[in-house]
Amino acid sequence: MRTLLFLFALGSSLFGQSQPNVLFILIDDFGARDLGCYGSALYETPNMDRLAASGAKFTQAYVAYPRCVPSRFGILTGKHPARVQGEKDSPHVEPVRDATFGQAFQAAGYSTFYRGKWHLGEGASNPDKMGFGTIVAAGAAGATRSFFAPYTVSKSKGHDEKDAIVGLDDAPEGEYLTDRLTQETMKFIEANQDKPFCAVLAHYAVHTPIEAKKHLTKRFEQKLATMPKAEVEWEKESAGENLLVQNNATYAAMIESVDNGIGRLLGQLKKLGIEDNTIIVLASDHGGLSARGGKREVATSNRPLRAGKGHLYDGGLRIPLLVKWPGKVKPGTEIATPVSTLDLMPTLTAMAGIATPKLAGSDGVSLVDLLQTGTAPARDTFYWHNPAPRPASTGDLFSSAIRVGDWKLLDFPGERRVELYNLATDPGESQNLATERPEDRERLLAKLNAWRKEVGASMQAKEKKKKK
């Protein structure tokens, strides 16, 4: 009898409403200042702002890499991409080497699904082979050829992604991809509302091509016309230049479509009566596309943070990160402690009370105590390594970086240059103190060198000039 009661209790714990649902929303190329609640005067994000107000907003959240594939690898596996990428910027998940948080939730009895951009390999590396029971529009593609159906046909000059997204061949002409992915997510939640689920909505937005609904773009064009025009819009940055102002109406309209979808999801969770049992995490895979090496179109500005996508300055590494954990995290919590998306694997599994997979990375730490009590993890050091720069595309250079406390050092081996900044007094990384503070410079550089050796970071730069 006791055995039966134990099994019943165990089953209730694994499959009943006591197990929290997880909805993870990942927005592509979404900058740290691309939300109203993070300081944008142009973009309008009332639903994301509402999500921030209902939980925790991190003001110093970092990614493991300032481009899509390595960053997503770190998010899904908890393993730093420098450990596996060599000279590439595209480390795919490999089932004999890696494990995803999807596998953790699947092993615990959750229904799991992945909607949208995967970009971490195909075949044995497909998301349905890596812990996600059902998938939609998830494969090798790093971007859609168009945000308007048919999604396999490029409608923007010069944009022709090699791999087309698959699985949405039934889309009616003119359908907007952001809306479709939101609807697919809502369908899954509706069907799985009575059992625990781990749902990933990985938008292709707001990555290029920069395409949006015309009526929304027109509204932001009108809004821009009422705003003061900057006297200087560009600054020199590394191998190219960087945009100083947010002034792209079409990009603003893309953000609004993402935000509208989040509003629909929040409304659905409330209508189904499961909002109080659903953890929601919203993040980006790296900083906004603000820097360029040539004359490619850029999307946004991350200022006052320096540079953007591709760069190891904070504009390329810092992202918005929102966490709603009903009953566990006080609404309106703001967290200034630096954290990493490598922390998501141990944090999500700890929130749900489930085990991490055997092959999961161990480069992150659980943020549960930080979220609930404000107790910071016993960690003050973060590392980054970019062995695959794209100077002709996003203007970045072969580089590594380390942050210890408020001090951040960047090493440019190809340039034989080291930069040192105090982020507490200089968040825009404009005052290089490497010459003035040689002891701090050498201390951080020695620690960075030791880490690069420990993880096997490639010290041979491999430039990639093709646009991404």
Q: Give the span between the Cα atoms of 72 and 121, in whole angstroms.
A: 11
- Provide, rounded to the nearest whole percent, the portion of the chain with pLDDT above 90: 89
Note the pLDDT tens digit of each residue in 33-72: 999 999 999 999 999 999 999 999 999 999 999 999 999 9
Mean pLDDT of all residues in 233-259: 98
Q: How far apart are CA 140 and CA 121, in angstroms?
A: 5
Name which of 70-79, 151-160, 246-255, 436-445 the model is least confident about: 151-160
Tell me if 74 sits within 8 A of 26, measured CB to CB: no
How high is the mean pLDDT of the chain? Answer: 93
Q: What pLDDT sits at residue 88?
A: 73
Judge whether residue 319 has pLDDT over 90: yes
Confidence of residue 87 (pLDDT cuts 50, 70, 90): confident
- The confidence score (pLDDT) of residue 162 equals 72
Measure the CA–CA gap between 1 and 85, rounded to whole angstroms. 53
Number of H helices, E strands in the chain: 11, 16
- Give the CATH number of domain 383-455: 3.30.1120.10
DSSP sequence for 320-376: EEEEE-TTTS-TTEEE-S-EEGGGHHHHHHHHHT-PPPTT---SS---HHHHHH---
Residue 10: pLDDT band (50, 70, 90) is very low
Residue 351: partners with Cβ closer than 8 Å, 6 or more residues away: 20, 22, 279, 325, 328, 368
- Mean pLDDT (whole number) for 400-419: 97
pLDDT of residue 15 exceeding 60, the answer is no
- Whether 4 has a pLDDT exceeding 80, the answer reads no
Chain-centre distance for alpha carbon 224? 27
Extract long-range pairs of 438-443: CB within 8 Å, 24+ residues apart: 440/407, 440/409, 441/409
Q: Where are the domains of the chain?
A: 17-376, 383-455
Q: For the domain covering 17-376, report its CATH number.
A: 3.40.720.10
CA proximity to 456, closest of 11, 91, 48: 91
pLDDT value of residue 8: 34
DSSP 137-163: S-SS-SS-S-SBSSTTS--STT---SS
Residue with tokens 């960087």: 242
Cα 30 to its chain centre, rounded Å, is 7
Structure tokens at 283: 């993040």
pLDDT, tens digit (0-9, with 9 covering 90-100), for 432-455: 999 999 999 999 999 999 999 999
pLDDT at 16: 43
Are 216 and 257 contacting, i.e. CB atoms less than 8 angstroms apart? yes
Cβ atoms of 234 and 241 within 8 Å: the answer is yes
Contact 99, 354 (CB under 8 A): no
Q: Is the pLDDT of residue 18 over 90?
A: no
Cβ atoms of 150 and 173 within 8 Å: the answer is yes
Identify each DSSP E strand in 128-220 by its residue range: 134-136, 197-202
Nearest Cα to Cα of residue 339 among 379, 289, 298 = 379
Residue 245 tokens read as 């102002």
